[in-house]
């Protein structure tokens, strides 16, 4: 058997401990499959005294992650620290400059600095692998780097955040408000004490920016992603979706359009019969549309010690086998800067919920505003929700607001937003109109 491949692991939280446990359980078999021994030589973390589920006495301890990254005692630096800057970025840069291969699960860092780090890896002839950075245990990066190379990718989309999917699933199944389900998710450990990164859509947007680069040969451009979270979704929206044959999911979608590359993360109504509609709880899914393969969907755990460690170790085994390729498939110097497709140019169907004052001429005025923007309505329903909407008061009162749901035919975001802004200014609605995109998957 060849010389061992020596690992230095920085970050010993849930994922770092999971990697050590996986290697302890399957190290001998993985070494045979890799054709050389896989050895952890040194580890690093902020708190040496913290209790962990694995014995660290067999590994050299290094307080300084950057020093570990440069160490002559390792061949592969495994970064599991997290964060878009700081020690995570400094240690990865140090490892690449020292000619060390890098494996990371850090989607935030790659979303902000991925193109520059890819160039640094290529300049030094080493790997920068990040399977664990997108959708946890789902091998989507490897699939796009290898199995789908024969295709021109036209769209990639999916459920990219398990916290949001869990919350939306519970809201739908139990008719409970967002705040209440979020509190439950925090209690169960599915949501952080500060959940804004997840529920606000940022986490999913980080992952989407990496998928878009892989799919379209484009420079990583997190700042080009339109982001909308799930905080404003109400039980009444789930009731309307159910009546209309839809489910609500937080989707990340990247696709080529005539106006450029469109990247967006937002709550979406998807048909109940679509595969993505059936993905519930903390599970993630990613779908890729290719010109020859058609549509391929992968479903699995998007986070957690075991699934994420599985992806990290898969990247290590590739390196041990001598597999080194451009991190984003296309070499960094050839990744294109692209025209950002404005969200107001987006085309599709829309769900709209209004709280309309019961006044003569109100509905006619609303319909007129839609007609001014050439928005064609597929359906308009005045409905009494099963769950009370805030601010609707007693519907028996003269002039009290009435909930109205509209579904549009294909139109543009520009037209919808312009019409809704005019409707709100006209004063016939008691609260800001609620709009959600419909994705015909």
What residues act catalytically?
207
CA-derived radius of gyration, the chain = 24
Using left for φ > 0, alpha for ψ between -120 and 50, and beta otherwise, residue 97 falls in alpha
CB 353 within 8 A of CB 434: yes
Distance CA 25, CA 355 (A): 58
Distance CA 10, CA 372 (A): 58
DSSP annotation string for 38-95: EEEEEEE-S-TTS--SS--TTSEE-S-HHHHHH-TT-SEEEE----SSHHHHHHHHHH
Classify strands 76-79 and 5-10 as parallel, antiparallel or unpaired: parallel
Work out the burial of residue 88: count CB atoms within 10 Å of its CB; fewer than 13 is exposed, 13-18 middle, 19 or more buried.
buried
CB 130 within 8 A of CB 210: yes
> Residue 335 has what DSSP assignment?
P
CA 224 from centre of chain: 14
The secondary element (H helix, E strand) that includes residue 296 is strand 294-301
Classify strands 411-412 and 401-408 as parallel, antiparallel or unpaired: unpaired
Q: Which residues contact 122 (CB under 8 A, 6 or more apart)?
A: 326, 327, 331, 332, 333
Q: Which residues contact 370 (CB under 8 A, 6 or more apart)?
A: 377, 406, 408, 419
């Amino acid at each position: 058997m060849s010389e061992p491949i020596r690992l230095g692991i920085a970050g010993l939280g849930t994922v770092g401990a999971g990697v050590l446990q996986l290697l302890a359980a399957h190290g001998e078999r993985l070494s045979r499959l890799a054709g050389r021994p896989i050895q952890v030589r040194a580890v690093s973390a902020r708190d040496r005294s913290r209790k962990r589920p694995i014995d660290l006495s067999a590994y050299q301890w290094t307080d300084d992650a950057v020093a570990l990254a440069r160490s002559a005692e390792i061949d592969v630096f495994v970064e599991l620290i997290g964060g878009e800057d700081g020690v995570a970025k400094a240690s990865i840069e140090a490892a690449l400059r020292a000619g060390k291969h890098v494996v990371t699960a850090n989607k935030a860092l790659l979303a902000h600095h991925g193109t520059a780090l890819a160039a640094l890896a290529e300049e030094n002839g080493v790997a920068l692998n990040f399977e664990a950075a997108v959708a946890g245990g789902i091998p989507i990066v490897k699939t796009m780097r290898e199995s789908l190379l024969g295709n021109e990718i036209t769209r990639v989309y999916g459920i990219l955040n398990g916290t949001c999917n869990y919350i939306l699933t519970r809201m739908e199944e139990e008719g409970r408000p967002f705040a209440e389900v979020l509190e439950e998710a925090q209690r169960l450990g599915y949501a952080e004490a500060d959940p804004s990164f997840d529920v606000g859509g940022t986490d999913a947007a980080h992952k989407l920016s990496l998928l878009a680069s892989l799919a379209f040969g484009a420079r990583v451009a997190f700042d080009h992603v339109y982001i909308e979270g799930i905080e404003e979704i109400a039980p009444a929206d789930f009731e309307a979706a159910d009546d209309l044959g839809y489910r609500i999911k937080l989707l990340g979608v990247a696709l080529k359009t005539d106006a450029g590359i469109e990247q967006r993360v937002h709550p979406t109504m998807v048909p109940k019969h679509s595969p993505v509609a059936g993905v519930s709880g903390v599970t993630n899914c990613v779908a890729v549309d290719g010109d020859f393969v058609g549509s391929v969907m992968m479903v699995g755990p998007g986070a957690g010690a075991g699934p994420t460690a599985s992806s990290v170790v898969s990247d290590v085994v590739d390196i041990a086998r001598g597999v080194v390729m451009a991190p984003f498939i296309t070499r960094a110097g050839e990744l294109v800067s692209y025209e950002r497709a404005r969200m107001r140019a987006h085309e599709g169907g829309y769900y709209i919920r209004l709280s309309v004052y019961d006044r003569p001429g109100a509905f006619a005025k609303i319909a007129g505003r839609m007609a001014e923007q050439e928005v064609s309505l597929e359906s308009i329903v005045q409905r009494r929700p099963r769950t009370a909407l805030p601010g609707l008061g007693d519907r028996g009162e003269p002039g009290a607001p009435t909930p109205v749901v509209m579904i549009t035919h294909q139109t543009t975001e520009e037209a919808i937003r312009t019409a809704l802004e005019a409707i709100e200014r006209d004063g016939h609605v008691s609260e800001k109109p609620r709009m959600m995109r419909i994705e015909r998957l």
